[in-house]
Structure 1
Amino acid sequence: MTMNTGQPEKIEGVIRLPSDLPNGWKKSSLAEVAEIIMGQSPSSEYYNTDGNGLPFFQGKAEFGDLYPEAVKWCSAPGKVAQKDDVLISVRAPVGSTNLAPSECCIGRGLAAIRPRHGIPPRYILHYLRSIERNIDSLGTGTTFKAISGKTLREIPVPVAPPEQQKWIVAEIEKQFSRLDEAVANLKRVKANLKRYKAAVLKAAVEGRLVETEAEIARREGRSYETGAQLLQRILETRRSQWQGKGKYKEPAAPDSTDLPELPEGWVWCSSAQLFEWSSGVGLTEKSQRTGPYPIYGGNGISGHHDEYFVEEPTLVVGRVGAHCGNVYVTKSKCWITDNAIYAKSFPNDEPLEYLQIVFTQAGLNRIAAGSGQPFVNQRMLNEVSIPLPPLDEQLRIVKEVDRRLSLLRETEARVNANLQRAERLRQSILYASFSTGI
C-alpha cells in the first residue's frame, strides 16, 4: 500500500495522477482544460527596448514571483498571450511558471496556457507549480533540456468541481500570504546579518572593536611595540633576508594624505611592505584531483591534490570571475590554482587572519578591473592600504571577530533552515490542495 502524497508520479516519462482523487474530481489532460500556445521568436529587427509594441517575454530570465518584468518589446509579434494566461518555461529550465501581466508576445522559450471551462488561471498556475520538478524531469535534449507541445498537452490535471476550484485558489493564496510574510521577515534578518558583519569588520580595522594596546599599556603602566615599530621590524627582516637578484628595492609606503586617522599605536602600510604577491599555478588535464593536499582557487577549496607547492599557511585572494576578491587563509601545505593570487615571504609572527579581515573589509571586488570578467592583480593588491595595529591587538581583534561571526553564522544557519522549511511547507500546501482539496 502506498501513501498518497498528492504529488503526481513520473513513471517511464509519464506523469500519473494519484488513483484516489477526492469525490467529484476528475482526471483530465492539460489539452482538455486549456488552450496551449507555443511561443515563437519573431525576427530580431522587431525587438526594441523603447516600449514600442507588446511586451516580449522569452523565458524564465524575465520571471518574477508572479508576473514577469518586461525588458524588451516587439512591434511585430508572432505568438501572443492574453492577460492572466499561465506562462510556462519550456526550454532550459523547464517548468517554471508566471502569469501574463497583459497581452504580450512570447518567444520560443515559453508557452501560454489559457484555461477553458471557467477554470481560474491561478488554479492551473498553482497546480503546475506543485509538479514543477516532475515537469522538469520530462525535459529532453543533449545541449539543453526542453519539452515539446505534445508533452505539455499530455500533462494530467486533477479537475475539482468549479466552486471548489475557486476555494482552493483562495485557500492556497491565504496560506501563501502568511508564508510570504514570514519569509520576508527572515530575509530582512539575513539582510541585517549582512550589515552586521560589515559593521563588525569595519569596526575591527578602525580600532573600535576591542580595547587598543595603547589603552591597556597605559592602564598597566608599561611600554609596548607600536604598529610603526612592528612595521619597521618586518621591513628590516625582509631587507636582511633578501636573496634576489640586484639591489634590494624598498617597498613603497601608501600615500596617507587622504587616509583616515588611526588609533594611537596604529600605522598605515601597504601590503607590498609586508609581503610579496604571487600567482598560483594551473592544473593540467592530467593532474590528479585526489590526495592529501587541498587545492585553493578563487572559490576556496576546490578539490585535493597528490602534491603541493606552497608549504606554509598563507593568504589567498580570488583573482578572476565570480569569485574575484574572495579572501581565504590556508591552514597547511596546499596547491594554489592560477585562479588565485597568494602572499609569499610572509612575516612569521603576523596573523594571517587579521589581514584576511582587512582585505575582506576592503571589498576587493569593488576595485576589480575588467569590463567583462572582473579581475585583480598583484599591482592592485599592493596598493591596498593596511591599518596595522600592534601585534597583540591584532590577535585580540581576530579573536573577537571570530567570536562575533561565529554567532552570526549560527543565526544565519537557523534562518536558512527556516527558509528551506518554508519552501517545503509551500510545496506541501500545493500537494495537499490537489490531492485532498486542502
Structure 2
Amino acid sequence: MTPPKPQPRADKVSLLRYLKLFRQDLLSAQPARLYRAWMAEFRTPFFRSFLINQPDLIHTVLRKRPEDFPKSGRISEGLRPLLGNSVFLTNGETWKRQRRIIDPAFEGGRLKDTFPAMLAAADACVERLRPHVGKQIEVEEQTSHAAADVIFRTLFSVPIDHAIASKVFEKFRNYQREQPLLNLAAFVPLPKWMPRFHSRTTRRNAEDIRNLITDLTHERAEAIKAGTAPDDLATKIMTTADPETGQFFEPEEMVDQVAIFFLAGHETSASALAWTLYLLALYPEWQERIADEAAALDDPTFASVSKLKISRDVFREALRLYPPVPMMVREATCPHQFRNRDVPKRSQIVISPWHLHRHERLWDNPDGFDPTRWNSENGKTCQREAYIPFSAGPRVCTGAGFAMVEGPLILSMLVRNFKFETISGKTPVPVAHLTVRSRDGIWLRLVER
C-alpha cells in the first residue's frame, strides 16, 4: 500500500489554466516529470522561474551562495499582513540582525529547558482525546491544538486555554484556511502603492492576531521590567541584545517574530504530526513498535527523548513524504548558469522539498513509507543531499531541533495511550494551504490502547 499523493498533471496547459490550477492546489498543478527532472523552466510575461532538483544546484543556492539567492519578495506578498517584517521574510542585514538575537534562544541547552512544557502539552493532548475514544476524529484539528499549546507554553509559559492564547489559535485557524500560498502579487510585479488583493477576511484575521500578540508582548515587557517574567523563549528573545549593535527588538519587531514563531512552530508541526498519525494508521505494525518504545517516557525527563529512536525515524519519514513547506522560492540577484542554461537576474529559483523528497532518480522506493531507510546507504546519502524539510544553510529553520524533540514526543505519548485506525472511504488527499494539509481533513478512528 502506497501513501496517498496528489495526481500530477501529465499534459501541457496554458498559463491562465496553470495559474487557476496553481491557486486551487500547488501540488497537483505540477507536471509528473518534475519527479524525475533535475531542472525545469517556467515562463510568464513577467518573470522566469526555474525549479531545481539537482542536489549540487540546491547546495549552491542554499548553502554555498545564499546571499546571491535571497528570499523572493513575491512569495512574501501573501504572508505580509500577518508576518510583517519577521525573520521569515527579511533578507540581508536586517535578517542577519534578527537571527543574531533569535538564535541564542534555540541553542541546544534550551531544548532541555523547554522539555517540561512540551511534555505538559502532550499530556494535555492525551486528556483532550480521551472523551473521543471509539469515535472518528479529524486529527489535523487535534494536532493543531497540541502544536499551538506547545508554542504558547514554551514561548509565553501559558497553556492554550489561556484567554489570549485561545483567541489567537481560533483566529489563526480561520487565517490558515482562507490564505492561499500565493496571491496576484506573486505573479505580477505590482508597484508598492497598489493594493495586494488580500481578502477582507484575511486582512481582518491577520490584524486581530497581531493585536492579540501585541497584548501578550506588552504584558511580557512589563513583567521583564518588574523582574517577574518567567524564563521562557519570549523572555530570552526580548532580553537578548544584538551582539554587534547592543540593540534589542522594538515592540513591533517582537510582534513580527512571535507571529512567525506561531506560524512556523505551530502550523508546520501540526501538519507533520497529522500526516505521521495517518501513516501509522496505514501501517499499524509501526504503531505497535512506537507504543512499545514509548515505555521510555516512564522517565519524565529530557533524557527519555534520546530513547525514542523509532518514533524519530517514523517522524523523519513523514517529513520526507509530506514536508510541511512544499516549496521555497529564492530570487537570483545577478545572472547565473545552471546546467548550461542562462538564469537571468531576478529569476525565481524554486526549491521543492515535495519533489526533491520523492525524486525517482535519488531515492529508493521514493513514494513508499519506509522508516528503516535512514539506516541504509541510500537513505544516509539522501539525508545529506536531498532532504530539506527545514531548509538548509544559513536560513535553516531556527526551530528544527525543537521540532525534532516535539514531534517524536507527542507522537509517542499519543500512540502510548491510543490506537489510530484508518476509515474506509476517507483517504486524505494532500493539498497545499500555508502547509501541506488534507483537502477534507485527515479522519481516523480513535481506539483505547
TM band (smaller chain): under 0.3
Structure number having the greater helix percentage: 2
Greater C-alpha radius of gyration = 1
Higher relative contact order (CA 8 A, sep 6+): 2
- TM-score after normalising by structure 1: 0.21
Structure number having the greater strand percentage: 1
